Chain A
């Protein structure tokens, strides 16, 4: 029997040295009959099992992955399996969005004395994988082409007028400037609609500050670059969540940052603006007012209601006001309630079968040029110049221009952001190929919410769930095979 003649399946097992590996030994010594499909990799502890090991195995054609460690409260290192339980459960809930059947992955606990239990676990899991058959291959599923998402309606009115509090904000920044290295904000960029981030260091520069629908960039991204200096930052609601998350993760110090906020009325999606103009139109001026902007380009006027040009994330935003600030000016924007924060790509993915989802990502990843702008734009991608995907040893990724490699990079990003991603969607905005990579992070986000009732970036005192554990997890139930 072998994998090659299709009688065996490829199953990868990660077994902890102290319990499950011992359990497998006990079963072996007792000459218990076991299927031979499982390839065992011995790890010191189930806590050592990086979820990326599992994803990598599944992406590279494993038909199933089994993780087994010491029973909870019985870990050789006391706590390793508590952490593992949270990560593994979150991963299992994540898998369907990339078209991988979550039943191909199982985690359980087997102690060194439980030879018989081991025999049962491995037999049942192998049987199960045999029933599921060979895993679909990325190279073989048909790519989904020409996908179009529906525009989602905004849950609150989005507006564009000149903000009445802008003058006050400038005054406050000028007051604070002498004590700061600078304040991060936006000014008019190369034309009237393109704003660019800048660091205000003089009063004249503060006068250049703008506030409105074109302030798309998330300036929290720049904060760690200034770590150690006293720095100010102007934030929209979404940006402020990244400031919180950076503080929670101790990447910047609270006493070093001064946070300036104004209620946000939504920002634009440039693709949507440009689609309304002839491609050679030269943008001359723009005035905001009420619920839209009037763009003058090549001598013609174009009315653009925010309902048509706003970014998707703004349409569903429930935190338009800075969740944390030292100076907050003007009237806060009304905070709507919204249960369903799914952006169009995730809504669309939810309607697909597993195989179609794999095809969806295949179709998208075919166009990825691997620039990693998605990573650089992410304020929470704090490894910056030391990203694991650039490492040659260990080699997580090869340079091959294949869907699997490019997809695996997205899985690295999404997995590393699990429980940390605030949903700012900058990764997706930055992608020059317009790939909806945020959907992967949003899937992790909603599963984290479901399991731990947690959303990142809201509370300075909080603990990202994957950095902690409970002895008894309220929403993680032990699964039988």
Chain B
């Protein structure tokens, strides 16, 4: 409850800051073309677009990949896969994005591929851990009672791993909102355009015009995903969390 109040307060502060700066008269009289409300809105929307597309790809590849390497025959692959995906994140985000331009050329696609690679790790890692950390007695009991493999996956493993997987998706999304600031460097769009303009023109207020909505976006998405995560988690698992 208290957390929610702080989050909403922070959100209002960021939005307020953006509104205040955008409405300042003198900024419009500066050397550089100032960003208008329309600019900020459309940048926010394309930012969100990139993030959503990159995340959807990361989820649709990362979740199955993380789960697959927990399966009996494929367990050997767990270390190379989780480790290999991890390598993506040890490289600085700027480098990952920069590498994409020579590989895929300038444009939105390069940006999205870079974001997807960078967002993959938390999803794969949490999907793997979510399934792998289930108490083996639970799975054994399920087998012993005559559940088929599919039934165990659907009725036991997925519901138990879901909160952990959702956390991975949330972390990945929040990170990607930040990383997407750099997408503009390889021809992407989004709020990075505003922030980086501010950086290169050394206009702190312009930087804030891009940075504040980015932070607001991260907070909002994080909050929404947390609510979804919560509604998908069995009450039995929450009681435990409350007691632990």
Are A and B genuine complex partners? no
